[in-house]
């Protein structure tokens, strides 16, 4: 469907042409003075220079050509040369009726849509999922849904940190505690047990203990390093233990991501890229793009247009070890081979931006991607506590994601029960949905790059710019619709009140909000839109007697309008990654 601004612009452009001026001056924008008009065209001002005429004269000429135009109920030429426009109610209604019946509300799919890999989550195996990874999960999931909405095939890849020293640390610590395990017996020849010799709680205690020990105990640090190398060389015992660590961690991660309504199409990790490294390095050598710098093999990525230094990307250290960047490059190779994406998006902490700049440049230099494949890092800022420092537990430790989710749920459940929003079996479901909306909206309403302060009182409030407020608006509409009866087929009719018209005008702005969110990978554009839309919906609700309306035809129109509003709000929050409850 054509966007409404384009439709109006075409009409005004035609009027410019009919009055003898260049049609290009007919570009219309949403009014910045909603008290005066709904749309405006300022083209008469630049046209005045070109045609050596007073702008108001041009505006008058154009307005005269629009008197018969059925799309407008009002066209006013105003000094010095503005064209102020109001839409005809019937035109607005027929536009929204198309919106109502079109697939995806008439929002056009991306004509260049293809396969998009979204690298988000990024959890590190054996370490508990902590709030540092929360934003990646929330923002990444939303971006994935937005990419899919615009017609792309999407693959969310959790890209686990499953191959580093943390694995060696856990294995070394296990060896100290339980040397009798068959995994440490070099003469063991049988089948390793199917059951892991530890639980997730054990792992969560083992990793921090081992990590702390390695910092003070050199022999232990060396042992952990040794196990890391042996694991990477595929020695059966360490490898079998690693498999257990993976299985136990991944099951736990799936549970936690599940509570966030975050899911992944691919559960790959750094370990899955390792087999691509030897060939990749060989090709790079053959292409002559590797240089030696202080014993390491590097790719120079500095470009002439750079205003600051971009250091070379190190792909192999002098001892032959490969690095985080090597793994990311190999992962690109793996992704191109497996999915051949036209776009790879990385939703990772913005402090890694230099790393990604180096990796992307290296990938292009090495020809790992097609020239047109887009590589983009969506760097996000930090979630801070009220003290403005990175969010911590009350005792100052790193907050586990699970703990945070439980705390938010407890907070919201108390509110739900206190206000008797729902009872009995509905309490848990409603609580979980409100809590998730509070958490996700509180995050997504900020541009990803911005740091923000986690403030549960504010995020969970039912009024103001919050997730619960948006849910509340939807639930209220749902309850009217439920009391009315079948509403799905009712057509949109011309607005009769200013509140109805404002709501309808807001509904026509959906495509702009979604396109902005898509183009800029900015879910915050959708938050801004739903907040605006919810405001107009609530105003309409307050000013209109919907269920009490005696005139049946009028009532049908009201119901159709809130029905479309509900569907659009629901689509938007689905793109943000949460859902409204039935009651609240």
Task: By CB under 6 A, name the binding residues for ligand ARG.
Answer: 119, 122, 124, 159, 161, 328, 346, 348
Closest separation in Å from C-beta 14 to ligand ARG: 50
Nearer residue to ligand ARG within complex by CB, 37 or 299: 299
Nearer to ligand ARG, 107 or 344 (CB): 344
| Residue closer to ligand ARG, measured from CB, 118 or 289 | 118
Phi, psi angle pair for 157, to nearest 5°: -120, 120
Smallest distance, Å, CB 368 to ligand ARG?
14
What residues contact residue 308 under an 8 Å CB cut-off, 6+ apart? none
- How near is the Cβ of 424 to ligand ARG at its closest, in Å? 41
CB of 122 to ligand ARG, least distance (A): 3
Nearer to ligand ARG, 160 or 444 (CB): 160
Nearer to ligand ARG, 107 or 158 (CB): 158
Please give the residue whose beta carbon sits closest to ligand ARG in the complex.
Answer: 122
Q: Residue holding tokens 């966030």? A: 260
**Which residue, 162 or 502, is less far from ligand ARG as judged by CB?**
162
Q: How far is the CB of 328 from ligand ARG (least distance, A)?
A: 5
Is residue 175 within 8 Å of residue 237, measured between CB atoms?
A: no
Question: Distance between CA atoms of 513 and 2, rounded to whole angstroms?
Answer: 15
Distance, in Å, from the CA atom of 42 to the CA atom of 27, rounded to the nearest integer, reads 8
Q: How far apart are CA 246 and CA 271, in angstroms?
A: 11
Who's near 494: CB < 8 A, 6+ residues apart? 89, 90, 92, 93, 557
Q: What does the H/E/C string look like for 127-180?
A: CCCEHHHHHHHHHHHHHHHHHHHCCCEEEEECCEECCCHHHHHHHHHHHHHCCC
Look-up of token digits 């793996």: 334
Residue 52 sits at φ, ψ, to 5 deg, of 50, 55
**Is residue 37 exposed (0-12), middle (13-18) or buried (19+ Cβ within 10 Å)?**
buried
- Considering beta carbons, is residue 183 or 207 the nearer one to ligand ARG? 207
Provide the 8-state DSSP code for 443.
Answer: H
Name beta bridge partners: 316: 297
Query: Taking the complex as a whole, how short is the minimal distance between the CB of residue 232 and ligand ARG, in angstroms?
Result: 17
| Distance in Å, CB of 396 to ligand ARG, minimum | 21
**Nearest distance from C-beta of residue 193 to ligand ARG, angstroms:** 29
Minimum distance of ligand ARG from residue 382's CB (angstroms) = 13
> Phi and psi dihedrals of 415, rounded to 5?
-65, -45
CA dist., res. 446 & res. 452, Å (int): 7
Our CB check for ligand ARG shows the closer of 263 and 423 to be: 263
Note whether 76 and 69 are within 8 A (CB): no
State which residue, 3 or 335, has the beta carbon closest to ligand ARG.
335
């Amino acid at each position: 469907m054509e966007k409404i601004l384009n439709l109006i612009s075409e009409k005004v452009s035609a009027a410019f042409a009919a009055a003898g001026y260049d049609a290009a001056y007919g570009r219309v924008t949403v009014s910045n003075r909603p008290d005066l008009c709904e749309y405006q065209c300022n083209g008469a001002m630049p046209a005045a220079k070109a045609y050596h005429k007073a702008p108001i004269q041009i505006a008058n000429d154009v307005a005269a050509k629009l008197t018969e135009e059925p799309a407008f109920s009002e066209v006013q030429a105003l000094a010095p040369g503005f064209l102020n426009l109001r839409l005809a109610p019937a035109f607005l209604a027929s536009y929204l009726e198309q919106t109502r019946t079109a697939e995806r509300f008439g929002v056009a799919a991306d004509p260049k849509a293809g396969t998009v890999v979204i690298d988000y989550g990024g959890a590190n195996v054996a370490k508990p999922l902590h709030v540092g990874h929360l934003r990646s999960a929330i923002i990444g999931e939303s971006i994935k849904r937005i990419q899919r909405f615009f017609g792309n095939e999407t693959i969310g890849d959790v890209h686990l940190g499953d191959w580093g020293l943390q694995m060696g640390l856990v294995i070394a610590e296990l060896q100290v505690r339980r040397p009798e395990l068959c995994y440490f017996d070099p003469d063991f020849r049988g089948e390793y047990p199917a059951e892991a010799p530890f639980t997730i709680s054990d792992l969560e205690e083992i990793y921090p203990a081992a990590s702390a020990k390695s910092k003070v105990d050199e022999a232990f640090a060396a042992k952990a390093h040794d196990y890391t190398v042996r694991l990477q060389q595929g020695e059966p015992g360490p490898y079998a233990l690693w498999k257990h660590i993976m299985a136990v961690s991944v099951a736990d991660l799936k549970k936690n991501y599940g509570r966030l309504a975050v899911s992944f199409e691919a559960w790959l990790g750094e370990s899955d890229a390792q087999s691509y490294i030897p060939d990749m390095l060989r090709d790079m050598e053959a292409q002559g793009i590797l240089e030696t710098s202080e014993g390491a093999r590097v790719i120079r990525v500095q470009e002439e247009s750079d205003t600051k230094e971009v250091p070379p990307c190190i792909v192999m250290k002098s001892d032959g070890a490969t690095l985080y960047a090597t793994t990311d490059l190999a992962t690109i190779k793996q992704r191109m081979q497996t999915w051949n994406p036209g776009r790879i998006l990385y939703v990772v902490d913005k402090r890694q931006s230099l790393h990604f700049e180096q990796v992307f440049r290296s990938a292009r230099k090495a020809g790992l991607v097609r020239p047109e494949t887009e590589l983009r890092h969506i760097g996000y800022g930090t979630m801070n506590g009220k003290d403005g420092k990175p969010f911590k537990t009350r005792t100052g430790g790193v907050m586990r994601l699970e703990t945070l989710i439980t705390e938010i749920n407890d907070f919201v459940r108390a509110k739900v029960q206190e206000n008797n929003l729902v009872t009995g079996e509905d309490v848990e479901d409603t609580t979980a949905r409100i809590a998730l909306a509070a958490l996700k909206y509180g995050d997504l309403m900020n541009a990803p790059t911005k740091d923000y302060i986690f403030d549960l009182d504010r995020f969970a409030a039912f009024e103001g710019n919050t997730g619960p407020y948006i849910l509340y608006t939807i639930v209220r509409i749902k309850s009217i619709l439920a009391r009315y009866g079948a509403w799905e087929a009712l057509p949109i009719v011309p607005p009769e009140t200013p509140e109805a018209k404002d709501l309808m005008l807001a509904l026509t702005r959906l495509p702009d909000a979604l396109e902005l969110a898509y183009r800029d990978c900015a879910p915050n554009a959708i938050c801004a839109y739903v907040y605006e839309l919810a405001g107009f919906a609530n105003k309409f609700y307050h000013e209109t007697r919907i269920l009490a309306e005696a005139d049946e035809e009028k009532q049908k129109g009201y119901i159709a309008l809130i029905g479309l509003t509900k569907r659009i709000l629901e689509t938007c929050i689905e793109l943000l990654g949460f859902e409204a409850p039935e009651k609240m």
